């Protein structure tokens, strides 16, 4: 299955240029980075929905307590293997898919 994701472009300014500080491929990179930066909050909300505490999340994902605590507070986001584990496990699959799709 192929999933296509699109982000809205920045609006044009008075001279026909993007209102952002970058244009072309650099503005697309900026949009991706913005999503990446915001993903910590998305992941934190998902953890709060699925687990009682950061300790529970650490045990499920097999990470140390400080990593899970940073995720819980939205200070950091996981690598792809963690997302894969959340998607692969029957108890977390539905909530993970719902949250990830809504974040786009």
**Which tens digits make up the pLDDT trace of 49-76?**
999 999 999 999 999 999 999 999 999 9
pLDDT of residue 36: 75
The answer to whether 86 and 47 are in contact (CB under 8 A) is no
CA distance 30 to 52: 34
Residue 12 β-bridge partners:
18
Instruction: Return the top range by mean pLDDT from 15-19, 82-86, 97-101.
Output: 82-86
Q: Which domains does the chain have, with CATH numbers?
A: 39-103 (1.10.260)
């Amino acid at each position: 299955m192929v999933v296509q994701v699109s982000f809205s472009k920045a609006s044009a300014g008075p001279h026909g240029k993007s209102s952002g500080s970058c244009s072309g491929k650099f503005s697309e990179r900026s949009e991706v980075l913005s999503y990446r930066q915001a993903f910590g909050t998305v992941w934190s909300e998902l953890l709060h929905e699925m687990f009682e505490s950061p300790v529970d999340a650490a045990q499920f994902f097999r990470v140390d307590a400080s990593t899970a605590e940073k995720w819980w507070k939205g200070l950091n986001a996981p690598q792809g293997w963690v997302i894969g584990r959340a998607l692969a496990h029957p108890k977390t699959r539905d909530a993970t898919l719902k949250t990830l799709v809504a974040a786009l």
